[in-house]
Amino acid sequence: MKKILAVLLVLCIAAGILSGCGGGANTPAASGKKKIFVFGDTTFNAENEEPDINPHNAYSGWPCIRYGVGETLMKIADDGTLKPWLAKSVTNVNETTWEIVIKDAVRFSNGKKCDAAAVKACLEHLVKVHERAAGNLKIASMKADGQKLTIVTSEPNPILMNYLSEGYGCIIDMETGIPKNGCVVGTGPFVATEVVTDNHVKLVKNTNYWDGNVKIDEVTVRTISNGDTLAMALQSGEINGAYGMAYASYPLFENNKFKFSSIQTSRCFWGMMNFHKENPGYRIMSDPAVRKAIAMGINKKGFVDVLLKGYGYTAAGAFPDSFAFGKGINTVSYDPGQAKKILQEAGWVDTDGDGIREKDGTRLAIRWLTYPSRQELPLLAESAQATLKDIGIEVQINNTKNHNSIRKDPQAWDVWVSANVNAGLGDPQNFFDTYCLDSSIKNSGGHHSDNLEKLAVQLRGAFDPGERAKIAVKMQQELLDDNSYFFCSFLRMSMIMQANVTGLTAHTCDFYELTADLDIK
């Protein structure tokens, strides 16, 4: 009897394993005539301020534009220049006046024509509710006349169109508004039918799409924040494509069953220091010698070559040197010996022999705040923990999904390390506006520099790209000279997909993932 039970048990387990291994291959053959595409994404979650696809909410414009629900007036090409998208033409009449002509063919997914009045209504709502848009766009007034929209800004805004190409610039139908289920109506190739935060978005083909035939009938974007789950889902055929795969898993897909779409991006792994006086670590972080030692104690090359497996390149400043505003930056290099000397001269000495330095009773320990959905950030943290320990700095890592709320507590961290697309809009201003200035909503470390503020004013008023680049270089140098920020590397971003998937292409700005070109052969 026991033997029979054992055999039955083994059979049940085997059946369970086999059924688990059976992939949900969503190929056209497997699902009848409909073409169904399932996409796995590590970053579509509240942790990244992307709780839904409403472009007027936090960073939810990113999934809106990435998943082909919304489109912007201009599109950012891979060389960082702007190309018309919903807009037919844009004219900068004078420093504060812009005339935008919307393409006649553009329709929302509900069939309604997208004219200047619709765009105006959308932008009015955007600047009213969005935390960054009003400050970025500086719109004083708008006038709609047929397909022509005239925008007047309250002050010169050379990069108005760049900002309107950000995710939050997706044009949505405000007559439909922001439905309770979060399924906004855009102009893109896909229509959202279901949004569940931290779980999935369901999309269907936009039959009214204005810019060609959409080849995929249904799309599900699944939030898979765990890299292992993502890798196994792609291997088993549960998903057809993946974004945010850990580099360590790449060898699994380097075969003829899968293919990669890769591109160098301006997504930068970088850190900011906390200068708030109420921070318990203020005494440490306000010491220029400590900041310099931290900057010199991070092995950027090792991080890129080994932990990113070469899928990136070391950073000097905030932007890649492929941009004019990323060239000619001077920064310290990895030099543990020099870092030790600097700390020693500043009075930080290991008095108790535990390998960590002290000064006037203060132990040289820093709290390193980061988050896991960018799979390489914890690796950077642990790498820095070891190299900084070598020079006598203890690093206490807080790797948490909750980093965005902790970041706002000036007493809870000393260094916040993040991964952001710093030049995604093809211009440097957004980075400074967001992270480095007194008015920046994400200057969580309370950094202030009079000189930087003056340069920011100059940058905001400069229309000439060459002049803007020069100012941006000076601004980066300002950040680097006092080591209040450090920049480790830029990412070579890849999307991995099954070999029969076409039209899933990586872009430098990290937008435009699911487009009308997407297909499964």
Element (H, E) at 496: strand 485-498
Query: Do 63 and 221 touch, CB atoms closer than 8 A?
Result: yes
Instruction: Quickly list DSSP for 36-50.
Output: EEEEEESS-SGGGT-
Q: Does 406 bind another protein (CB under 8 A)?
A: no
Q: Give the nearest distance from C-beta 49 to another protein in angstroms.
A: 22
Q: Does 306 bind another protein (CB under 8 A)?
A: yes
Interface residue with another protein, options 15, 30, 349, 386 (CB under 8 A): 386
Q: Which is nearer to another protein, 101 or 397 (CB)?
A: 397
Q: Does 17 bind another protein (CB under 8 A)?
A: no
Interface residue with another protein, options 397, 467, 502, 505 (CB under 8 A): 397
* Residue 135 burial by Cβ neighbours in a 10 Å radius (0-12, 13-18, 19+): middle
Secondary structure class of 5 (helix, strand, coil): helix
Q: Does 370 bind another protein (CB under 8 A)?
A: no
* Residue 91 burial by Cβ neighbours in a 10 Å radius (0-12, 13-18, 19+): exposed
| CA–CA dist 159, 448 (Å, integer) | 24
Q: Does 236 bind another protein (CB under 8 A)?
A: no
**Dihedral, CA atoms, 106, 111, 116, 120, nearest 10 degrees?**
-120
Q: Does 57 bind another protein (CB under 8 A)?
A: no
Q: Does 308 bind another protein (CB under 8 A)?
A: no
Q: Give the nearest distance from C-beta 284 to another protein in angstroms.
A: 20
Interface residue with another protein, options 20, 251, 353, 361 (CB under 8 A): 251
Amino acid, single-letter form, for residue 390: D
Q: Give the nearest distance from C-beta 231 to another protein in angstroms.
A: 7
Query: Do 232 and 226 touch, CB atoms closer than 8 A?
Result: no
Take residue 294 and report the two structure tokens written for it.
């931290």
Q: Which is nearer to another protein, 54 or 489 (CB)?
A: 489
Q: Does 302 bind another protein (CB under 8 A)?
A: yes
Question: Shortest CA distance to 348 belongs to which of 410, 415, 405, 290?
Answer: 290
| Contact code string over 163-202 relative to another protein, x by CB under 8 A | ----------------------------------------
| CA–CA dist 436, 6 (Å, integer) | 65
Question: Shortest CA distance to 418 belongs to which of 476, 370, 490?
Answer: 370
Interface residue with another protein, options 57, 187, 249, 314 (CB under 8 A): 249
Q: Which is nearer to another protein, 135 or 372 (CB)?
A: 372
| CA–CA dist 217, 190 (Å, integer) | 9
Secondary structure class of 33 (helix, strand, coil): coil
Q: Does 382 bind another protein (CB under 8 A)?
A: yes
Q: Does 252 bind another protein (CB under 8 A)?
A: yes
Count residues binding another protein (CB under 8 A). Answer: 25
Q: Does 387 bind another protein (CB under 8 A)?
A: yes
Choose the binding region for another protein from 15-23, 194-202, 241-249, 495-503 (rule: CB under 8 A): 241-249
Q: Which is nearer to another protein, 13 or 306 (CB)?
A: 306
Q: Give the nearest distance from C-beta 230 to another protein in angstroms.
A: 10
Cβ contacts of residue 202 below 8 Å, gap of 6+?
Answer: 192, 193, 194, 195, 218, 219, 220
Query: Do 201 and 116 touch, CB atoms closer than 8 A?
Result: no
Q: Does 365 bind another protein (CB under 8 A)?
A: no
Query: Do 154 and 138 touch, CB atoms closer than 8 A?
Result: yes
Choose the binding region for another protein from 95-103, 273-281, 298-306, 455-463 (rule: CB under 8 A): 298-306
Residues that bind another protein in the complex, under the rule CB under 8 A: 227-228, 231, 246, 248-249, 251-252, 299, 302, 305-307, 375, 378-379, 381-383, 385-387, 389, 397, 399
